[in-house]
Amino acid sequence: MFKKILIANRGEIALRIIRTCREMGIKTVAVYSTADKESLHVRFADEAVCIGPPPSRLSYLNIPSIISAAEITNADAIHPGYGFLSENAEFSKICAEYGIKFIGATAEQINMMGDKATAKDTMKKAGVPVIPGSEGLLPSVEEGIRLSEEMGYPVIIKATAGGGGRGMRVIHSSDEFQKMWDDAKMESGAAFGNDGLYLEKFIEEPRHIEIQIIGDQYGKVCHLSERDCSIQRRHQKLVEETPSPIVNDELRAEMGQAAINGAQAIGYEGAGTVEFLVDKNGDYYFMEMNTRIQVEHPITEQVTNYDLIKEQIKVAAGIPISGQNYFPNAFSMECRINAEDPKNGFRPSPGLIKSLHLPGGQGVRIDSHVYAGYTIPPNYDSMIAKLIVTGQSREEVITRMKRALMEFYIEGIKTTIPFHLKLMDDEQFKSGNFTTKFLEDFDFSDL
């Protein structure tokens, strides 16, 4: 087992990883930017190394600084958390070259899954259902129009280097094709330095369902059921839940096995998430695979009693997994509490937290790095807490979530709490019958 893990991240996930390391008897090294010197991860780790100024590219994305910090502290592994360097193939490779275990995917796996057209081809070969469309990259507008006429409009073109909605365009007729192609090419070239595009049939009003998997070094992969992440605004998830209101045991078994087959096809080791779109007929299609621990992993932990960070560390150290798939027998939901003003376009609201009261009680878990007197720096993402509520039924969880949100007091900044309170009272949300379009029609003006 590792003796010392460096955590190449900040905020709640850095704390989350420190907590598990402490329970496992593993020493921790925090790294921090000068904007984060008052941060809890710095205080709670056994050691802390300043790695640069506030901008991420000079600190949390600064590979030489982080490798140096690992070298001088003698860390034998690095946990990248989510975001930052967690899906950076170069960083994974450099860690391997320095003899530091990267607790995440190999450079080859990150590259393969990071190129969405390649990922899709790989999954298709492994027998995972994929959305009909171009084979690999779309070579020309003419070929795009030909394929679209064959499949029928609407279609969608996506950046192969994309994800999170950038470089993506929905096309409704052949007259629009050239302009959408030009726009998407321009946008993805500028954003990713790669303007490759691929084409798919557009799935209208899907659900976003993702399967949590974990694989070990011996080729075994198991799934820990799904998370429903359909409540998103501009590709930012706001609420996640498990099990999904639209997934029954049969669909769960099928999607779980599809995710396992896809992961095994690339010899996947570690925790990963296979994202699917599910259409109105209950047909599911591979969308992307994330080769990292995700923000919303705690809801899976709550219904499975797994510590996913512990599982990541164990498989990275070469310990085999049991190989049992998991079917949930409880419900869990996460509300992302962001320092944003939901009434004003979710505009960031960093600054001093003057006073704070966190909810507690039965079935309530908070993963957060903030405290009264803490100043949220403007340099990083705005999530300040995850409120995770667990219960015996979806109804119980929604009632309990409302109760917990009402106990949550934050003075000094605007947060997404008023939005979550309204959502928990929304009849359509409560019915479980909603799609990824739900928040497009939501009224945020009266929060």
Q: Kindly identify the residues of this chain, within the stretch 284-313, that bind ligand MV4 according to CB under 6 A.
A: 287-288
- The residue among 33 and 294 lying less far from ligand MV4, judged by its C-beta, is 294
- The residue among 165 and 373 lying less far from ligand MV4, judged by its C-beta, is 165
Q: Kindly identify the residues of this chain, within the stretch 191-210, that bind ligand MV4 according to CB under 6 A.
A: 200-203, 206, 208
Tell me the torsion sign for CA atoms 45, 46, 51, 52: positive
Catalytic position from the list 16, 252, 292, 336: 292
Q: Kindly identify the residues of this chain, within the stretch 230-289, that bind ligand MV4 according to CB under 6 A.
A: 232, 235, 277, 287-288
Q: How far is the CB of 133 from ligand MV4 (least distance, A)?
A: 7
- The residue among 194 and 436 lying less far from ligand MV4, judged by its C-beta, is 436
Q: How far is the CB of 67 from ligand MV4 (least distance, A)?
A: 31
Q: How far is the CB of 221 from ligand MV4 (least distance, A)?
A: 22
- Number of amino acids touching ligand MV4 (CB under 6 A): 16
For the record, the structure tokens of 206 come out as 């899907």
- The residue among 5 and 159 lying less far from ligand MV4, judged by its C-beta, is 159
- The residue among 59 and 290 lying less far from ligand MV4, judged by its C-beta, is 290
Is residue 10 annotated as part of the catalytic site, yes or no? Answer: no
What is the x/- site pattern for ligand MV4, positions 154-193, by CB under 6 A?
A: --x------x-x----------------------------
Considering only CA atoms, which of 336, 406, 408, 398 is closest in space to residue 367? 336
Burial track 430-441 (b if 16+ CB lie within 10 A, e otherwise): eeeebbbebbee
Question: N- to C-terminal Cα distance for the chain?
Answer: 49
For the record, the structure tokens of 373 come out as 């007197």
Q: Kindly identify the residues of this chain, within the stretch 100-159, that bind ligand MV4 according to CB under 6 A.
A: 131, 156
Q: How far is the CB of 235 from ligand MV4 (least distance, A)?
A: 5
Q: How far is the CB of 209 from ligand MV4 (least distance, A)?
A: 9
Residues belonging to the active site: 292
Binding region for ligand MV4 (CB under 6 A): 131, 156, 163, 165, 200-203, 206, 208, 232, 235, 277, 287-288, 436
